A and B are shown apart, each in its own frame.
Chain A
Amino acid sequence: MVDKDVGRGVRKGSAELLVLALVEDRARHGYEIGKLIEERSGGVLKFHIASLYPMLYRLEKRGLIQGRWVERAGQRRRRFYRITTEGRQILERQRSHWQEFMTALARVAGIRHA
């Protein structure tokens, strides 16, 4: 039970962080982003199309990421997202907020288990 609760909390509060972090180092397309989140969280965190793309578009509208269609010879064109300067700043801020959130989580959990 706790598993899902935490998962929901993570999805609600930190989805943007997850996406920004994944496109921090290199540009990635939507499917790759969704797949990486699922893989690296051991399957705990999973975004459906209906939640992943609206988020990508919202981030793009806010200027935090930038999507570009890329066409390579012999392949279908794909849309790659990469982080913007502003996105990088937000990511740093989010990381620090995230740490605070984890602290609070640890504290609450600690009290509950004491």
Chain B
Amino acid sequence: MPDWKAHVRSRFGSHRLDEDVLEEVSQHAEELYRAAQAGGRSDDESRLMVEVELADVPAVLRAARGRQRRRVAAAPEPVPPGPMLPVQSFARDVAHGARLLLARPFFTLIAVTTLALGIGANTAIFSVVHAVLLAPLPFPDPHRLVMLWEADSDDPDDFSIVAAPNYQDWAALATSFSSTAIWEHQTFNIAGGADPEQVAGMRVSASLFTLLGVAPQIGRTFSADEDAPGHDVVVISDALWRVRFAADPAVLGRIIRLNGRPFEIIGVMPGSFRFTQQRHAVWVPIQFTDQDAERGAHSFFAAARLKDGVDFATAKSEMLTIGRRLAARYEANTGEIATISRMDELGVEHLREMLLMLLGAVVLVLLIACANVANLLLAQAAVRQREFAIRAALGAGRGRIGMQLLAEGVLLALVGGAAGLLFAWAATAALAGSLPPAIRLAPFREGGVIPLDWTVLAFTLGLATLSGILFSMAPMAGAWRTSPEAALRSAGDRGGTPRLTWLRHALVASEVALAVVVLAATGLMIKSMMRLVAVDPGLDATNVLTMSMALPQADFYGEPERTTFCETLVREVGSLPGVQSVGAISHLPLSGANAGRGFAIEGRPEPPPDDSASAFYRLTCPGYFRTLGIPVIAGRDFTDDDGLSAPRVVIVNESAVEKYWPGENPLGKRIKFGNLSSDSPWLTIVGVVQDVRHFGLDTDAYREIYRPYSQAAWPVMTVTARTALEPIGMASAVRAVLRRIDPDQPVSNIRSMEEVLNESLGYRRFPMLLLGLFSGVAFALAAIGVYGVVNHVASQRQREIGIRMALGARRAAVVRLVLTRSLVPIGVGIAAGVLGALGSARFLEALLFRVRPSDPAVLGTIALVLGSAAILASWIPARRAAGVDPLIVLRQE
């Protein structure tokens, strides 16, 4: 070993000697020499290496001047490492992440926009799901509230509304309930004054308000003795109180005329009270009539509150037992049982599937967005590999670097989530206007209002955090897979080990697969809609104006007091210029209104009670069938001569003929409502009309019996007028004529028949439009994702491409080379997507119409469209990669 101390001393030259520096530097030289020798170098080589190190030793000496000298005898005290608290280090990571986001505004904008779309769409749909399905009923202890139903013993899920005597038996026998209540929906005309009005209301038992646990804001609700006839009292809604009584606090005791009868106002419900809908404006006592006393008269809703300690299943089985006992005791109850359902499911059961399907679709869109952001971050991570490597070299473990990436990702996701909230806010405002009636009018919910409340905010926060964690995994995997040495050495390489390319392709495959699932769902919905609108509704909806008119009388359903209503209507409205024909009907097709009656057929034996003949029941004015374009197949339409003094007549539809008079001529046959022994009059069939799909294009026509209004009344009729031009333009003229016919009766629901038809499709159109929107986003994100990855991978392979081209490869061959690589993940994605679409089909089945979830045409088209788009998205960067000058690429290396 050379004497390094002497050697270093000689290198100090004329500089003033510092013994400490001499000692330190010569020790260093010795260690270097020893290490070089240990590494197998020759003595000369080792000396040379140390000599190189010792160049400019005087600089060391200069730097040492003025340094405080200390000598200690003891070993160095252990220095506490002083680690940072986790919170501190997380805060530092977040701050660092924020600086990174600000430093890369373009990347941040793209990532935040992508996430905002995904998270915002989820928030918007979740807020609908929350408002409709998840939000608790606005009553105390809502989970104890149940609905009581009659049900078919063969099909216990086929609920039906309740007959009053059955309800009374349940209330008396059941021990599971602390209270029960019953009500019937009714329409009331509030007459008098300048503006007659038709409002929705209910006949309710006094127990309803205590059952719900709500109190009026002014006055009282009904007492138990008011359930008996002789008490004309009414509780009104906050809205009616404000509009009709200018929120007068002295409204109690005032008289309001409902359907022509005076009622005393005894209470005003609070503005928040929705039972069952916001539009319900008046509640009157139930006061059962003789008609209600029949066990066959099913027209009531009933509810109960479970006793403390009684669970749903116990109550349900008790009701089942009671229902069976009643079925054994009463003939009218044959084949019927009793059951219960949760009150918060009322009116929204059928929405569950649709909303959950939409939520599922929008989660897929978010996953695509996450995959896109993961791809962006992967590209960033490749550029930042050096940063991670140096951090690792300085002692940062995998955990630290992982935490940093996680903090950055979650921060990005939260910014995206905040932007998504804005997007959701705008989207829900826009959605509120286009909600289908089933959602808008869902019971107990604030119709058409989709609140972005704390639950929704918490959902968004959770979703954003989860997304951040999810897409941070890609760059984490990237940072962990690379060793610091490799990263520092591979400076010329643009990052990305083969492993990362594999990850990128996996992301592309998942994006394409997810997009196929969403697009396939949309394709199936669109095909369903096309099949649906091609269905013949059985009527001609073009240029038909419709409006409802109240026609109350003391005996709602008895002989008409307005014997000449139809005659006057047809004459007065029919004489308006531009009106081609006029009619009226009690239950307009596709409007949701309906009524049914059982009847007996002359000359046939009395059937068992649960097998008697039945049909839907309609009242019409002459000219209705012509106006709606419903052909009279046999016999005749009603005329003005079919009055009270003429023989009672009916018209039946094809389905009724098929069921009760197959192969016979029904004309001239007679029926009567009720059973053969009832005292209702015999009615002669004078005509047969074509079937109409009354409940919707997707529902088969049912048996119908029509009577002339001039022989049997109905409290509300819908006037129909076929016009030469656009029907709504005629609305005010027709309305003016109706006001002239009866100034006291309100006119409402002015719509064209086409609007009625369109609204009946709303239940399917709403999810179809939303899915269409999601598909657009999914398609765009997937295409951008494919483009980004192929572009990145192609640019990584530029050197290889350059060499190939320098060696004579043609451009087309290079394009093919790049394309072939991306075809594999695209193909895998499409195959997985088609499998996914088949697997998720059951969520869609209920929303499809005459289309199988595995429809090969739809799936094939989607696969073709997405595949082509993905190939196009790959072709653009492939072509660009092939367009580079090989010399330039090689020179860069």
Q: Which residues of A contact B (CB under 8 A)?
A: 1-3, 6, 10, 17-18, 21, 24-27, 29-31, 34-35, 40-45, 48-50, 52-55, 57-58, 60-61, 66-72, 76-80, 82-83, 88, 96, 99-100, 102-107, 109-110, 113
Contact mask for chain B residues 3-38; partner A; CB cutoff 8 A; 1 contact, 0 none: 000000000000000001101110111011001000
Asked if residues B393 and A61 are in contact (CB atoms below 8 Å), the reply is no
Q: A99–B62 Cα gap in the complex (Å)?
A: 32
Asked if residues B484 and A70 are in contact (CB atoms below 8 Å), the reply is no
The 8 tightest CB contacts between A and B, nearest first, are A42-B485, A54-B63, A40-B393, A102-B387, A27-B76, A2-B491, A25-B81, A50-B56
Asked if residues B67 and A27 are in contact (CB atoms below 8 Å), the reply is no
Give the residues in chain A near B23, CB-CB below 8 Å: 77, 79
Decide if the interface of chain A is mainly helix, strand, loop or mixed: helix
Decide if the interface of chain B is mainly helix, strand, loop or mixed: helix
Give the residues in chain A near B96, CB-CB below 8 Å: 96, 99
B627 to chain A, nearest CB (A): 67
A75 to chain B, nearest CB (A): 10
A6-B386, A30-B28, A105-B386 given; 10 more Cβ-contact pairs under 8 Å: A21-B395, A41-B393, A41-B484, A42-B393, A44-B488, A50-B59, A68-B76, A103-B103, A110-B107, A113-B494
Which chain B residues (49-91) contact chain A, with CB distance < 8 Å? 52-57, 59-60, 62-64, 66-68, 70-76, 78-79, 81-82
When the two chains form the complex, which single residue of A10, A57, A102 contacts B67, counting CB atoms closer than 8 Å?
Answer: A57
Asked if residues A53 and B63 are in contact (CB atoms below 8 Å), the reply is yes
Q: A44–B54 Cα gap in the complex (Å)?
A: 20
28 A–B contacts from the bound complex (CB under 8 Å): A3-B489, A31-B27, A31-B31, A35-B35, A40-B393, A41-B484, A42-B486, A45-B393, A49-B25, A49-B57, A50-B56, A50-B59, A52-B28, A53-B28, A53-B64, A54-B59, A57-B63, A57-B67, A61-B67, A68-B76, A70-B72, A70-B76, A76-B27, A103-B103, A104-B103, A105-B386, A107-B103, A110-B383
Q: A114–B780 Cα gap in the complex (Å)?
A: 21
B91 to chain A, nearest CB (A): 11
A59 to chain B, nearest CB (A): 10
Asked if residues A99 and B70 are in contact (CB atoms below 8 Å), the reply is no
Give the residues in chain A near B795, CB-CB below 8 Å: 113
Contact mask for chain B residues 482-513; partner A; CB cutoff 8 A; 1 contact, 0 none: 00111011011010000000000000000000
The bracket for how many chain B residues form the interface is 35 or more
Give the residues in chain A near B393, CB-CB below 8 Å: 40-42, 45
Number of A-B contacts (CB under 8 A): 155
Q: Which residues of B contact A (CB under 8 A)?
A: 20-21, 23-25, 27-29, 31-32, 35, 52-57, 59-60, 62-64, 66-68, 70-76, 78-79, 81-82, 92, 95-96, 99-100, 103-104, 107, 380, 383-384, 386-387, 389-390, 392-395, 484-486, 488-489, 491-492, 494, 795
When the two chains form the complex, which single residue of A18, A53, A88, A102 contacts B82, counting CB atoms closer than 8 Å?
Answer: A88
Q: Which residue of B lies closest to A113 (CB)?
A: B494
> Given contacts A34-B28, A70-B76, A82-B76, is CB(A50)–CB(B491) below 8 Å?
no
Give the residues in chain A near B92, CB-CB below 8 Å: 96
Give the residues in chain A near B71, CB-CB below 8 Å: 68-69
A85 to chain B, nearest CB (A): 9
Q: A30–B82 Cα gap in the complex (Å)?
A: 22
Asked if residues B72 and A49 are in contact (CB atoms below 8 Å), the reply is no
Q: In this complex, which of B52, B75, B392, B492 has the most chain A Cβ atoms within 10 angstroms of its Cβ? A: B75
Give the residues in chain B near A57, CB-CB below 8 Å: 60, 63-64, 67
Q: Which residue of A lies closest to B394 (CB)?
A: A21
Asked if residues B78 and A26 are in contact (CB atoms below 8 Å), the reply is yes
Asked if residues A78 and B387 are in contact (CB atoms below 8 Å), the reply is no
> Given contacts A25-B79, A53-B24, is CB(A41)–CB(B488) below 8 Å?
yes
> Given contacts A24-B81, A31-B27, is CB(A53)–CB(B484) below 8 Å?
no
Asked if residues B491 and A3 are in contact (CB atoms below 8 Å), the reply is yes
